[in-house]
Amino acid sequence: MSTPSETEAAAGEPAASPKTRIRIRDAEATRTRILEAAKREFARNGLGGARVDVIAEKAKANKRMIYHYFESKEGLFQTVLENAYLDIRAAEQRLNLDNLDPRTALERLVRFTWDYYLKNPEFITLVNSENLHRAKHLKKSELVAATSRKLVSMVGGIVERGVAQGVFRPGVDPVQLNITIAAIGFYYFTNRFTGTIIYERDLMAKEALEERLSFNIETIIRLVSA
């Protein structure tokens, strides 16, 4: 979100020579601007539909720089995608669900997932694009798989605690639960355009969003309750 350069600039370090700072900053800042512009463009048009020229222009960078930093359009997409996954996984970890009572923890996760999709719509389109390409790029990333494991075990822990406390029923597979939590939010957003036509309802209206979130929490709680 915030460019490292801005952060650095804000922090100050008046003793450092300006020369050094600006040089380092420019390179890193350019890279970041490219990534940000690429995320938008890929999200809006998919991998195939995205235009390298547009990315360069929006990033206020030279097209050549994209190839310098990311080798190819696909290399850029891969980095954008990986970052997107790492970002949501990191945010999930920051929820500290392990310290909450199981029911609250689960509700909080459903709510977080919903909000994340709502505020980061690019994530959804990026994932869709990647699936159109049969996860060709994600396959190369070990980091994403490793980080995802933590999420599953976190949910597994919540379920276990719930069962131990007698509030959750036994036998709920954490992976299936995870998938369902994601599904009921993801589907709603990814299909919001066709959904608006099919269901003849503005799915993105404020009340519609609130109603759906409540429905989703209800769905998950009922699913696991003893």
- Phi/psi of residue 142, each to 5°? -80, -35
Cα pseudo-dihedral 38, 40, 42, 44, rounded to 10: -160
Q: Is 198 in the site for a copy of itself (CB under 8 A)?
A: yes
Interaction between residue 186 and a copy of itself (CB under 8 A) = yes
Write the CA distances from 53 to 41, 42, 43, 67, 158, integer angstroms. 10, 12, 15, 12, 47
Partner from DNA, a copy of itself, none binding residue 121, C-beta < 5-8 Å depending on class: none
Cβ atoms < 10 Å from Cβ of 226: 10
Q: Taking the complex as a whole, how short is the minimal distance between the CB of residue 157 and a copy of itself, in angstroms?
A: 16
How far apart (Å, rounded) are the C-alpha atoms in residues 134 and 192? 23
- Residue window 49-88: x/- pattern of binding to a copy of itself, with contact defined by CB under 8 A: x-----------------------------------x---
Residue 65 interacting entry, from a copy of itself, DNA, none, C-beta within 5 to 8 Å by type:
DNA
Instruction: Decide whether 19 or 64 has the Cβ nearer to a copy of itself.
Output: 64
Q: Are 152 and 174 in contact (CB under 8 A)?
A: yes
Indicate the residue among 30 and 178 with the shorter CB distance to DNA: 30
Q: In the complex with DNA, which residue's Cβ is closer, 65 or 118?
A: 65
Question: Are 102 and 158 contacting, i.e. CB atoms less than 8 angstroms apart?
Answer: yes
d(Cα 133, Cα 4) in Å, to the nearest integer? 32
Q: At what angle do helices 142-164 and 174-190 cross, to 10 degrees?
A: 110
Judged by beta carbon distances under 5 to 8 A according to partner kind, the member of DNA, a copy of itself, none in contact with residue 113 is none
On the 0-12 / 13-18 / 19+ scale of CB atoms within 10 A, 134 is exposed
26 binds, among a copy of itself, DNA, none (CB under 5 to 8 A by kind): DNA
Q: Using CB under 7 A as the criterion, which residues of the chain lie in contact with DNA when the complex forms?
A: 19, 22-23, 26-27, 29-30, 50-53, 61-65, 67-68, 72-74
What residues line the site for a copy of itself (CB under 8 A)? 45-46, 48-49, 85, 125, 127-128, 130-135, 138-139, 144-145, 148-149, 152, 173, 175-176, 178-180, 182-184, 186-188, 190-201, 211-212, 215, 218-219, 222-223, 225
